[in-house]
Amino acid sequence: AQSVSQHNHHVILSEAASLELGCNYSYGGTVNLFWYVQYPGQHLQLLLKYFSGDPLVKGIKGFEAEFIKSKFSFNLRKPSVQWSDTAEYFCAVNAGNAGNMLTFGGGTRLMVKP
């Protein structure tokens, strides 16, 4: 069974700092990759997704993620964070043999200090 690891459980940054959140998965075949964000007290919302093509994917609110197949990674980045980016971020993987199933990482809580 596939697994998804998010190594940073808590990240604290000051506004304008750059952000990179790690995501690694265990499946060796074709994958579809997602990042979701959960603002305090709200539901999960899709930030960006990768299916094929350009491994650098741009999402909403200035976020991007890079798929590096050789490293089984799909790290999330943002050049300059804002206080409003304070949220929990979840990486998710849909493996090619898993039908519609998404496997989620444990999440990373980001706090941005004003």
Partner 1 sequence: NAGVMQNPRHLVRRRGQEARLRCSPMKGHSHVYWYRQLPEEGLKFMVYLQKENIIDESGMPKERFSAEFPKEGPSILRIQQVVRGDSAAYFCASSPPAIPDGYTFGSGTRLTVV
Residues that bind partner 1 (CB under 8 A): 32, 34, 36, 42-46, 49, 51, 90, 92, 94, 99-107
3-state SS assignment for residue 96: coil
Minimum separation from the CB atom of position 21 to partner 1 (A): 13
Minimum separation from the CB atom of position 112 to partner 1 (A): 19
Cβ nearer to partner 1, comparing 3 with 14: 3
Give the DSSP letter string of 53-65: S-SEEE-GGG-EE
Cβ nearer to partner 1, comparing 46 with 56: 46
Minimum separation from the CB atom of position 104 to partner 1 (A): 5
Residue 13 gets the label, from left (phi > 0), alpha (psi -120 to 50) or beta, of: beta
Residue 81 class from Cβ within 10 Å (0-12 exposed, 13-18 middle, 19+ buried)?
buried
The kind and range of the H/E element at 6 are none
Cβ nearer to partner 1, comparing 17 with 22: 22
